[in-house]
Amino acid sequence: MLLPMTLARKLLLPLGGPLAALLLVLLVWDLSVRIYQIPAYVLPSPEQTWAHMLDDLPTLLDGFQITFVTFLMGFVLGAGAGFVFAVLMDATPWIRSILYPILIASQAVPVIAIAAALTIWLGFGLAPKLVIVALVVFFPVVVNVLDGLNSVDKDMLNLVRSMGGSRLSIFRYVKLPATYTPLFSALKLSATFSVTGAVIGEWTASTSGGLGAYLLQANSRLNTAGTFSAIAFLALLGVVSFLLVILLEYFMTPWRSSSTAHRWSRRYWRRP
């Protein structure tokens, strides 16, 4: 089934500017290498980087797949845990008074500083990488969702209560929609940062490869073309992740793109 035209326009039309910027960067990059005669081991040309990507494409694609799976699982884990924690802190003020200061203080600790400790606690493999990615997503989701829940008009809440609305109905029809805009703002922000978390996890606890391991290996061999190839695939992963969040936002908030809700959303929001 083809995507709706509004979604196609939302995804494709904004690509004109970034594509033009990418071409400009490639042009400046190529001219700099040619004019200043920069050695390939210092800065490879776009042609050399492209040639290396084609020569090592199967390995890069395998690394992309491994890193993407790690990123996706950690991203979902962190976003889900952050949303649940925000709802709990909104529902029970005493939990919020205990956890919120701890969450704020935890952000002063760089993720890379505890990556080694996570490897000791959880061992090598998938678990520490998922935790690292989840930590990157967790705090922005908690803060933004909590702000959305606190931004609900008190008069609206009192009105729904006076009409006999239960706590579940109030959450579903009043509070939950208020979290969507700040939630997706946090997810968009975290979509690119989480890629960095996945790379850090692969640097410290990888046993199955990935772009992070590929990048580390290329750096150790002074393979600059390989380094830039890995960076290009990591940038692609960040763009794909951002677009997936936009796609999810389109389906979860149909009222922002059309005056007519999608059929599935009408069924979801229909009162019982």
Per-domain boundaries in the chain: 65-250
Query: What is the rounded average pLDDT for all residues in the chain?
Result: 85
State residue 35's pLDDT score: 92
Q: What is the pLDDT of residue 16?
A: 67
Quick check: 1 pLDDT over 50?
A: no
**Kindly report the CA angle at 210 between 207 and 216, in degrees rounded to 5?**
85
- The pLDDT of residue 108: 81
pLDDT in tens, 5-48: 565 565 555 666 777 888 899 999 999 999 999 998 899 999 99
**Whole-number Cα distances in Å, 213 to 17, 43, 161:** 32, 21, 55
By the 8 A CB rule, do 56 and 229 touch? yes
Q: Which range among 49-53, 107-111, 235-239, 263-267 shows the weakest confidence by mean pLDDT?
A: 263-267
**Average pLDDT score over residue span 158-181:** 86
For residue 127, pLDDT beyond 50: yes
What pLDDT does residue 12 have?
Answer: 57
Percent of the chain with pLDDT over 70: 88
Most confident of 76-90, 106-120, 194-208: 76-90
Choosing among 1.10.3720.10, 2.120.10.30, 3.30.450.20, 1.20.910.10, the CATH entry for 65-250 is: 1.10.3720.10
Task: Supply the pLDDT for residue 158.
Answer: 83
Judge whether residue 244 has pLDDT over 50. yes
> Is 115 in contact with 204 (CB distance < 8 Å)?
yes
Does the structure show a pLDDT above 70 at 229? yes
Question: Would you state the pLDDT for residue 40?
Answer: 87
Cα(220)–Cα(245) distance, integer angstroms: 34
CB neighbour list of residue 196: distance below 8 Å, 6 or more residues apart: 136
**Highest mean pLDDT: which range of 10-24, 150-164, 237-251:** 237-251
Q: How far apart are CA 214 and CA 64, in angstroms?
A: 10
Q: Whole-angstrom Cα distance, residue 128 to residue 82?
A: 18
Give the number of C-alpha atoms closer than 13 A to the C-alpha of residue 74, restricted to the C-beta side.
32
The burial class, CB within 10 Å (0-12 / 13-18 / 19+), for 193 is middle
User: What does 186-227 look like in DSSP terms, one character per residue?
Assistant: HHHHHHHHHHHHHHHHHHHH-SS--HHHHHHHHHHTT-HHHH
pLDDT above 90 (res 260): no
Q: Give the CA radius of gyration of the chain.
A: 22
Q: What helix, strand, coil percent values describe the chain, rounded to 5?
A: 85, 0, 15
Residue 51 exposed, middle or buried by CB count within 10 Å (0-12, 13-18, 19+): middle
Give the confidence band of 84 by pLDDT, cuts at 50, 70, 90: very high
Q: How far apart are the C-alpha atoms of 10 and 120, rounded to whole Å?
A: 45
d(CA 14, CA 246): 12
In angstroms, the Cα distances linking 183 to 26, 113, 245 are 35, 27, 11
Mean pLDDT confidence for 138-151: 92
Specify the pLDDT at position 110: 83
